[in-house]
Amino acid sequence: MRLSVLWRIILTSLVIIVVMAGVNLYALFQLRQLTALSANMVTLHYPAIESAKHLLTVLYAQLNSEKKYLVVRDATFLRHFDEEVEEFHRGLQTLETQELTPKGIELLNNIKHMQQERLAILHEKLEKNGSSSARPLGNYESRRDILMDHISATLQQFIDIHETGISVGVSRSRESSAQAEAVTEQLVLLALVFGITLAGFASYTILRPLRQLQSHIKQIGRGNFRTSLNIRAPSELRDLVDAVNWMGTKLQELDDMKEAFLAHVSHELRTPMASIQEGTHLLLDEIPGPLLQEQRTTLRIMADSSRRLITLISTILDLSKMNAGMMEYRILPTDIKRVTDVSVNKVQLLADAKHVQLLLELPAQRVWVKADVFRLEQVLDNLLSNALKFSSEGGIVKVVMKPDLSAGTLEVSVTDGGPGIQAEDLPYIFERFYQGRTKAKQGAQGSGLGLALAKNVVEAHGGRIWIESEAKKGTTVRFTLLLMKPGEPA
């Protein structure tokens, strides 16, 4: 199932949101654990420590009131002692209800028993002192002091337990905080990378078909209608691809109709044009009778125009055959230097008329290629005609041949010093009927078919052709052909 662009965006966003929500939930869970540790210290350990310290203070206040009473026998000090004992019991009961640790409960029970024992020996002493025959108990103070020391030490143990709990809680909080921070950073980084990767993948699955479609539309714009585009794409883009393919098919049908029409019209025009040209030549030869100078001039214009029209018709027919794959080539061993000389001789009169110098840089020895002589001559004729057409008065047209024996190729270049070709025209210069923005300053305008024919012929011979040009600095057309290997049969 191919998801639409909308659903791809929605699902990608949902996945990224879920991942980020998972990271946030983990961070929230760790924060709650830290909060629980802090709350445990605040609600359990700190109050227990404060209460235990208060019990120590009350304990020593009891001892102080007891000593004063035993010395002066004032009932006020005994009342203070009873109040402090009661306060000690209340504080101890509060600690017992709040304490959760077994060790702490055990210590509080010991304190409770020792306090009861201490009060018991005090009551015993007071009762003995109230009797007329009783003597002071000599060992009371030592027993009391031992119990006081035990109670104080036990309370201190109780305080130490909770202080240790605080230290452990703080350490655990720090460890948990550090661990949570490290894990959260890793999760955020992982979520970020995952989100970027997922978003990139989703964008790629949308943009890649769009780029392919854009490239295909450019191919259609260059006249390549036969290739259809078949790609995996979201449903909306799939509909667009189908529409573009349908458009390409229709354009191909129109192009085929145009080719057939041009071929038919060209074929039908060829015979009457040949008759017109032949009749014009008969008149110029004065076979029907003598001509006036004005009549001869008119007939020469007619002959030249009919010749150019026949050439154009022949070129259109040749291109139609090439595009249909029906062109037949007679490939034979060919001396390209001789073919070049023939083409140069054809345009020599035009070059002399424009005072353009033709320079040839050819190898000293013969250069043999396998080619159709007539078609290769067409290529050179077109390139030389274009170079002369765009050259200014007194310019130079240079023909250069460079054999590359290691690669087994021959490079031929034709260079002029004309106005050059605009950069935006270069990609389309080999298209039929395309003449670009640069026009010849003198002479008749071309048809825009010469370079298209040259490209078809060169590529049919296994070579390639390209143009190097810069505005106002002239143009060089280069093409390559395969050299005949030594000893290769003709």
Which stretch of 159-173, 334-348, 405-419, 458-472 has the lowest confidence by average pLDDT? 159-173
Mean pLDDT of the chain: 81
Question: In what helix (H) or strand (E) does residue 401 lie, and over which residues does it extend?
Answer: strand 396-404
Q: Is 473 helix (H, G, I), strand (E, B) or coil?
A: coil
Residue at token pair 């235990």: 52
* Alpha-carbon separation of residue 33 from 164, 188, 333 (angstroms): 19, 20, 91
In the chain, the amino acid numbered 315 is T
pLDDT tens for each residue of 48-81:
888 889 999 998 898 898 888 888 888 898 899 8
Q: What is the mean pLDDT of residues 323-352?
A: 85
Q: How many residues does the chain have?
A: 490
β-strand 409-416 against 396-404: which pairing, if any? antiparallel
pLDDT band (50, 70, 90) for residue 180: confident
Q: Is the pTM of this model over 0.75?
A: no
The dihedral sign for the CA sequence 40, 41, 46, 48: positive
Phi-psi region of 355 (alpha: psi -120 to 50; beta: other; left: phi over 0): left
pLDDT band (50, 70, 90) for residue 131: low
